Amino acid sequence: MPILIIMKNSKRNSKISDALNTMNEAEAAYGTRVWFGAIFIYLIKFGKVPFSVVYSQKNQRRNVIIGYLLVIILILLGILLLSYIKIK
């Protein structure tokens, strides 16, 4: 009987640890901004620099800043487009 109790507890503990390993919204947004920035830099440099260099840990801060700027610009362009369509 004690073996069954241990097995049930281990299943419960694994479910709890799996739930804690999930990514929250802030981590997902951060990762998305890093990707946007890295892809933008890669496209600006016309692929002359390997993507692994652009996406490296050394360039992560630059990629995040560029990614945030791109998202803000896209949101502003969307707002301007919607306001232009509404006026017309």
> What's the domain range around 74?
24-87
Task: Give CB contacts under 8 A, 24+ apart, made by 31-34.
Answer: 32/67, 33/63, 33/64, 33/67, 33/68, 33/71, 34/60, 34/63, 34/64, 34/67
Domain count, the chain: 1
Residue 1, helix vs strand vs coil: coil
Statement: residue 28 has pLDDT above 90: no
**Domain membership flag for residue 40:** yes
pTM score of the predicted model: 0.66
**Domain membership flag for residue 79:** yes
**Domain membership flag for residue 16:** no
Statement: residue 17 has pLDDT above 80: no
- The 10s digit of each residue's pLDDT in 43-68 is 999 989 998 888 888 989 999 999 99
Nearest partner of 41 among 13, 70, 15, 21, judged by Cα: 70
**Domain membership flag for residue 14:** no
The pLDDT confidence band at residue 75, using thresholds 50, 70 and 90, is: very high
- The 10s digit of each residue's pLDDT in 30-40 is 888 999 999 99
